[in-house]
Structure 1
């Protein structure tokens, strides 16, 4: 058992008031001395294997796989020594609607130099957010709106001067700065902003009154290949229940292959490559493609209350202050079959590993005894559907967000072996960085910023639901600079996972996995959270960060 060195300040300077609001520069106290215990690799192995077995059918919300998952997690949380986190219940209802599209027609494009037809799955995918049994998109005028961004604070509006009500908008993935080398630019340079996420594209198109949205798929700016899009959009899709049944949403949202989009542009007398370049410049004007889109599908609609699983270890001296660990338990369920016919997306790495980590951490926390602050262990549903479970908790918190000091998110532990570093998604955003850096000194490792900020990972996992409401959250992953093989080996293994297993049927448990790197990272997760649970500080977002104002407002009223 190793000890984390104390970062010294005089003991008299540590007598901070319990009513301290948030940290300011120069007012940070010493970090507590934390003993990182041995965590159970057997817990990690057994729960990961169980959750990713075919018996759980890919853990889609609203399925028997969910029922099995809930039963396992509540049992393991109780055995670990936690208490139910929602009154007398381990569960928090998350009202969802599941929509399964069927009988999809080809996408027909008319009015250009030639009529075009594209097949569902291989050429395009769509789904509807509207709770309607039949969706018809008939002769909808098509408009190319560049990146589909309306950002008044940046003086950027791709919808300026164009009325897209009832029309089909064609948009680019990512944001205009994609491909630049630096982090300077209209949209953060190479780092993706939320304006670059596909979820934003659909949200803004709906606000503009569009009938449908088609994002042009391009592997580099999307950060994944068409195989991921196709498998992720296959089968039942989940959305939050709404009073109007999604009537304020577009009829259809989806993706189209870049080659297919090039044919549409050519039939409109336009060059896709040239228009993609034009869309990167401020002042871009939307282009009427002078063509009409038609497609239809039928929907099977099922309303369900999926569940977040919540356990708590109550603090011994400040139980009304909270530290939170999050991981999503869900995956894609049944998806596009692999060549061998396997149609279960088991989600072993993503995210049976992170879910198992919640249990392993809970065991270690309970065994070590309650820290000063309470610690919440939250396994959320429907992350794969757009962070729906974490968003629901953040919007309807069981424990006040103003009293939630901060937290740690865990999403997919890589099985590449031990690394010399960890990768921080969103490094430099908050005061939690110093907790991580201190925890890493035990093993002589370092925290590195994500090498591909253009992929927008910050907006693709559950920490984002809390961050945008002001709660400081840190999200880090095992590094790619491996002890055995260095960066070249790490990058090769990461690429292999993305291309061959991520969001596909082959993300399966392997009894030959090397868990040494995972367990080293898990100790870091423990140490960061435990330090946060033992300090009196209230870490904040750094000055100028997009989430700082929300935190300041939240804490000012506490």
Structure 2
């Protein structure tokens, strides 16, 4: 009996330790799980995950199933995990664009996709836009920054030529905001303009090249069609990107050197002036109504006082689809953004396995991010939980798991206490914060956190930093290869040299950020004196900057 009792004790201890091991593994982010989710979502069987397609719907069903498996609940009064986003697909009819520029030298026709780049009309099927042309610098009106490119210019009923981007002396996040083309359309429309002609400065050409624009802009585009969108609908009839030769020719007609203007814009804002030209755009479009769904799951909070506050984790489910001209026509979007969704799903699983968090966490997989942040924009316009209860947003876009990163570029970190949470999370995986290496790109306005930012909610948009590795030295080869040859290409697939041990570290960081924000004794707060908060959340509570 004594031996049998001892055996029972040993077995109890052994099985107890085994159970603890299983529990510990269940509560740890798994690189293998991130790989498995990524592989399914980026499989050729989904034929890409473009908004409005069957492949997207399959991906949405997969995410909804995972939410249910992990014990998440539908948001608000929803009975399921879907929020239908009504979309309108707009495309150009064959030979549906005729663009003519008239100057003192005569009239010149330019070809769409070669000389200029314009998409289909969001408003009408058959239209003609005729307007005189005026240059308006950056095309920005920012009273809080004492900047007004429209001052002294009459742009009513005119086509306004503007530089893409924003002045380098704008604070980083506000530079991103004022660079966003939809924001520029709103400002130009308020000034009375009817069309925008955009120019690519040398800085913008580095990360948003003309070559990409001329191919992508004429492709089918989307907008969401809910009546609430009217508040965000610009009165600008057309936004047209001018190719470099067309742009230089236009300015030469007015005796201006465009390269000198580009050079001036580096240190100061060029003043506007009338150009001796007019445009005539004749455009025939096709509209097709469709829909895709945001997928939304909530892990209810455990604290009676804090459970009605929400941390949102947002990641886009769709993929970018471009020209289908080569032998591989499927845009799998493994890094951008099957991997981001995979990391989000794993965070949801681990957070639930650990018993949840004090605040509720809302996981939002968005539709049509690649079409202009449409899914997140729609959610903010039609929220399933009160917006004033959303206290912070963490955006997961991309899985840049190419090297054992030593740094994290946490966009938005300097504006709110989410930055302190992010820094603690970074340190927990042996990383540090690094500054944005490309502030001119305006990344804070280029993903799903931006619609939340515009309504005054603190946001964080982190990514691994290119370059420095925990092992020492620089490790950039695979990163640069992806950026140069695979980003927004069919080759963004599972054959890329992704490191799933690095993906595990990244997922652990995202988990630590979400758990830290959701369990903190105070909600994320904007910092005192923050220029971003002054624009978007002027009356919100503030925290002292550390």
Q: Per the shorter chain, which TM-score range?
A: 0.7 to 0.9
Shift of 1:48: 1.7
Query: C-alpha distance in 1, partners of 2:157/2:494?
Result: 46
Q: State the distance in 2 between where 1:58 and 1:294 align.
A: 37
Q: Is the 8 A contact 2:26 2:350 kept in 1?
A: no
Partner of 2:390: 404
Shift in Å, 1:114: 5.1
- Structure 1 residue 509: deviation in Å? 2.4
SS of the residue aligned with 2:283?
strand
Alpha-carbon distance, 1:513 to partner: 2.3
Q: CA deviation at 1:506?
A: 2.5
Alpha-carbon separation, structure 1, partners of 2:372 and 2:33: 28
Contact 1:59 1:330 (8 Å CA) reproduced: yes
Whole-Å separation in 2 of the counterparts to 1:486 and 1:197:
37
Give the one of 310, 313, 319 matched to 1:331: 319
Q: How does 1:512-531 map to 2 (within 5 A)?
A: 512-531=497-516
1:62 aligns with 2:52: yes
Q: Tell me by how many angstroms 1:547 deviates.
A: 4.5
Alignment partner of 1:384: what SS?
A: helix
Aligned to 1:535: 520
State whether structure 2 residue 61 is matched by structure 1 residue 90: no
Any residues of structure 2 matched to 1:358-397 within 5 Å, and which?
358-397=344-383
**Which protein has the larger Cα radius of gyration, Structure 1 or Structure 2?**
2
Q: Which runs of 5+ in 2 are unaligned?
A: 1-23
| Distance in 1 of aligned mates of 2:240 and 2:52 | 23
Deviation at 1:485, TM superposition (A): 8.0
Q: Deviation at 1:231?
A: 4.6
The equivalent residue for 1:194 is 177
Q: Does 1:151 align with 2:139?
A: no
Rounded Cα–Cα distance in structure 2 between residues aligned with 1:417 and 1:273: 38
Secondary structure, aligned partner of 1:110: strand
Distance 1:216 1:489 in 2: 34
Q: Give the 3-state SS of the residue equivalent to 1:435 in structure 2.
A: helix
Number of the residue aligned with 1:131: 123
- 8 Å CA contact 2:337–2:398 kept in 1: the answer is yes
2:208 is matched with 224
Equivalence for 1:12: none
Give the counterpart of 1:113 among 95, 105, 108: 105
Match of 1:448 among 434, 451, 469: 434
What is the CA-CA distance between 1:170 and the residue it aligns to?
1.3
Tell me, in whole angstroms, the C-alpha distance in 2 between the residues paired with 1:366 and 1:373: 13
Question: Secondary structure of 2:308's partner?
Answer: strand
Contact (CA 8 Å) 1:228, 1:504: kept in 2 or not? no
Give distance in 2, aligned partners of 1:512 and 1:395.
39
CA distance in 1, matches of 2:488, 2:273: 34
For normalisation by structure 2, the TM-score amounts to 0.86
Query: What is the DSSP-based 3-state SS (H/G/I as helix, E as strand, rest coil) of the residue aligned with 1:192?
Result: helix
Distance 1:346 1:365 in 2: 28
2:189 counterpart residue number: 206
Calculate the TM-score normalised by the size of structure 1.
0.84
> Is 2:35 aligned against 1:50?
no
When residues 36 and 446 of structure 1 are mapped into structure 2, their CA distance, relative to the original with a 3 A threshold, is farther
SS at match of 1:345: coil
When the two chains are superposed, the root-mean-square deviation of aligned CA atoms in Å is 2.8
Match 1:176 to one of 167, 171, 181: 167
Q: Which residue of 2 aligns with 1:79?
A: 69
Maintained 8 Å contact 1:128/1:253: no
Higher relative helix content = 2
Q: For residue 326 of structure 1, report the CA deviation from its aligned partner.
A: 0.8
The answer to whether the aligner puts 1:303 opposite 2:298 as a matched pair is no
**Superposed displacement of residue 120, structure 1:** 1.5
- CA distances 1:7-26 after superposition (whole Å, capped 9, x unpaired): xxxxxxxxxxxxxxxxxxxx
Structure 1 unaligned spans of 5+: 1-33, 178-184
